Amino acid sequence: MKNRLKVLFSLLLITATQSWAQNTLQQKLSTAFNRLQADEQCRYGTVSLTVLDAKTGEPVFTGNPNVGMAPGSTLKTVTTITAFNLLGKDFSYQTPFGYNGTVTADGTLNGDIIICGNGDPTLGSWRWETTTQNHVLNTFVTALKKAGIKKINGRIIGDDGAYGTQSIPDGWIWQDLGTYYGAGANALCWHENQFDITLKTGPVGTPVKVSGTSPTIPYLTFKSELTNGAAGTGDNAYPYLPAGLTNIMYLRGTYAIDQTKKLVSAAYPDPAFDVAYRLLDTLKRLGISVSGLPESTLSLAGKGQPTPTMTTTLTTLTSPGLSQIVYWTNRKSLNLYAEELLKAIAAKTGGKEVTTPNGITILQNFWKARGIDVNSMDMIDGCGLSPEDRITTMTVATIMQSARKEAWYPDFFESLPVYNDMHMKSGSIHNVQCYTGYQTHAGRELVFSIMVNNYNGPGKNIREKMFRVLDELK
């Protein structure tokens, strides 16, 4: 009897202790949240915070949890968790390489070499040894030599047609489209669809000159309308994509004279053309003649010509697995990777066009079947770059909490960067700052989502104030 009473007393004590700890945490979070909400930087803004028990989903604290907010790049957690669920952690992209036409006995191909894109954002990426530009080009060359092809009476074509003609989601702003982070999600990607423009700076107020590109891009012309900004004003340089089928890329804005990089990273207008161009250049240097010019689905369409169909596959390149792709998607907040995952979700269903809106519909329906109101997630894209994206912190936290029980959760958790000594994904666009992640408090695992929209003043200051709220979870 005494032992039973001891056990009962112990259980009551544990329950009381846990209840006290939760009430104390709620009080601290309430105080911290109210302080942030009343801060001068949030005077015309909106603050939202949701904290859930990571194991049970039980609410620990909520402040404006059902207000639709611009999430910035924290939206990538929704996209990547959905990708794990629908594509599987071992999913990979396949890029066939081959030709149409015939090969003669002397090794002459009478036809075109074709690189057929299927959305792999890692093709030509520097993040893995097996995806680098040199590795990919060498793989192509090896496949041609193995097939006995020594001469090509035809063209090198980058087939970018699998995803239709719209690579950039509606809702992205014009200023972002020429930047590396605003690169379109093409069916055939190359070097993460970006390259560098090197700059030559001078006195404040004078024009900034373009001194070159890496790699060299002879088929584009660069015109700088950039001006040298005062020290401390930062990098406010924006490349602008060529309009229509012109080959002129403008640079506009200001670039501080104390910037050390002396370069801006821009988006390829047509990455499928560039991979065809690089392969042609490689073959010529190796003595394999090619009679035609490099082409892409876009360049052929401009001439009123269709992209020919590959009839013989020489090799197929396989991307790294989904877990590795998600790692870089969240660690480095790669918009291109998130957008390609959204389109891969659309592609897997079949029966529908591979478009951003169709990918969003499938994503929303997946979570609707799991009890989430789709009206709480008004998505324009999969990465959060659009200022029109809206989602609630309750929805983000609920989706984050759902990942906790999955076998692939360790891979997802590892993909989250560390800020303020906490594993969490950040998100920021104009006057928007957000975080979502996991934290253990007094032995209890928690998941949180915090968003501040339309704050004023320096971003550094608002981040520090948000960290003070999140510090209560430690």
123-167: pLDDT as tens digits: 999 999 999 999 999 999 999 999 999 999 999 999 999 999 999
The domain that contains 36 carries what CATH number? 3.40.710.10
Residue 12 has pLDDT above 50, yes or no: no
425 shares a domain with 304? no
278 shares a domain with 260? no
Domain contains 299 = yes
Q: Name the nearest CA neighbour of 46 among 36, 55, 59, 58.
A: 36
pLDDT, one tens digit per residue, over 400-440 is 999 999 999 999 999 999 999 999 999 999 999 999 999 99
Domain contains 8 = no
Domain boundary residue among 267, 283, 308?
Answer: 267
Residue 352 — very low, low, confident or very high, per pLDDT cuts 50/70/90?
confident
Domain contains 7 = no
Predicted local confidence at residue 349, as pLDDT: 79
402 shares a domain with 330? yes
Measured between alpha carbons, how far apart are the two ends of the chain, in Å? 40
76 shares a domain with 38? yes
Task: Please state the rounded mean pLDDT for residues 254-282.
Answer: 96
232 shares a domain with 303? no
Q: Name the nearest CA neighbour of 269 among 385, 210, 186, 169.
A: 186
pLDDT, one tens digit per residue, over 33-61 is 999 999 999 999 999 999 999 999 999 99
Predicted local confidence at residue 244, as pLDDT: 64
328 shares a domain with 291? no
408 shares a domain with 331? yes
Predicted local confidence at residue 21, as pLDDT: 55
Domain boundary residue among 320, 341, 356?
Answer: 320
Residue 217 has pLDDT above 70, yes or no: yes
Domain boundary residue among 320, 350, 381?
Answer: 320
Residue 209 has pLDDT above 90, yes or no: yes
377 shares a domain with 462? yes
Total domain count for the chain? 3
pLDDT, one tens digit per residue, over 367-393 is 999 999 999 999 999 999 999 999 999
Q: Name the nearest CA neighbour of 409 among 61, 53, 71, 77.
A: 77
Domain contains 221 = yes
pLDDT, one tens digit per residue, over 97-133 is 999 999 999 999 999 999 999 999 999 999 999 999 9
Domain contains 175 = no
Domain contains 409 = yes
- Provide the percentage of residues in the chain whose pLDDT is more than 90: 92
Q: What is the pTM of this model?
A: 0.94
Strand ranges (DSSP E) for 343-454? 377-378, 390-391, 418-419, 422-429, 432-441, 444-453
229 shares a domain with 371? no
Domain contains 415 = yes
Q: CA–CA separation, 342 vs 167, rounded Å? A: 12
387 shares a domain with 295? no
Predicted local confidence at residue 106, as pLDDT: 95
Q: Name the nearest CA neighbour of 83 among 345, 405, 346.
A: 345
**Domain around 415:** 27-89+324-473
Sequence-distant (≥ 6) Cβ neighbours of residue 37 within 8 angstroms: 47, 63
212 shares a domain with 150? no
The one-letter amino acid code at 79 reads T
446 shares a domain with 330? yes
Domain contains 282 = yes
Q: CA–CA separation, 453 vs 433, rounded Å? A: 7
The domain that contains 136 carries what CATH number? 3.50.80.20
Task: Please state the rounded mean pLDDT for residues 75-99.
Answer: 97
Q: CA–CA separation, 467 vs 474, rounded Å? A: 11
